[in-house]
C-alpha cells in the first residue's frame, strides 16, 4: 500500500486502511458472538426439554 504525500497524510491513509481491515475482521470473527450465544442457549433449552420429557431415559445420559 503506497501513499504519496506528506508523512501525516500517508499515516492517515494507512490508519483508514487498518480501520477497514479491523472492522471486517471483527464482523467475521467476533461479530457473530451474539448469534453463537443465541444458538447455544437454544441448544441448552432443547436438551433440557428432552431431559424433562424423559428423565429416566438412560440413552440421554
How much is the mean pLDDT over the chain?
86
Distances (CA, A) of 9 to 4, 21, 23, 45, 61: 8, 19, 21, 54, 63
Q: Residue 48 sits in which domain range?
A: 7-60
In a domain, residue 49? The reply is: yes
Residues 25, 36 contacting (CB under 8 angstroms): no
Q: Which residues contact 3 (CB under 8 A, 6 or more apart)?
A: 9, 10, 13, 14
pLDDT at 4 over 90: no
In a domain, residue 2? The reply is: no
Give mean pLDDT, residues 3-32.
87
In a domain, residue 42? The reply is: yes
Grid coordinates representing 35 are 448469534
In a domain, residue 1? The reply is: no
Write down the pLDDT at residue 22: 92
- Total domains in the chain come to 1
In a domain, residue 34? The reply is: yes
Amino acid at each position: 500500500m503506497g501513499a504519496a504525500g506528506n508523512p501525516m497524510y500517508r499515516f492517515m491513509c494507512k490508519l483508514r486502511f487498518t480501520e477497514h481491515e479491523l472492522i471486517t475482521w471483527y464482523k467475521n470473527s467476533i461479530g457473530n458472538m451474539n448469534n453463537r450465544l443465541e444458538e447455544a442457549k437454544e441448544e441448552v433449552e432443547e436438551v433440557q426439554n428432552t431431559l424433562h420429557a424423559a428423565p429416566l431415559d438412560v440413552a440421554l445420559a
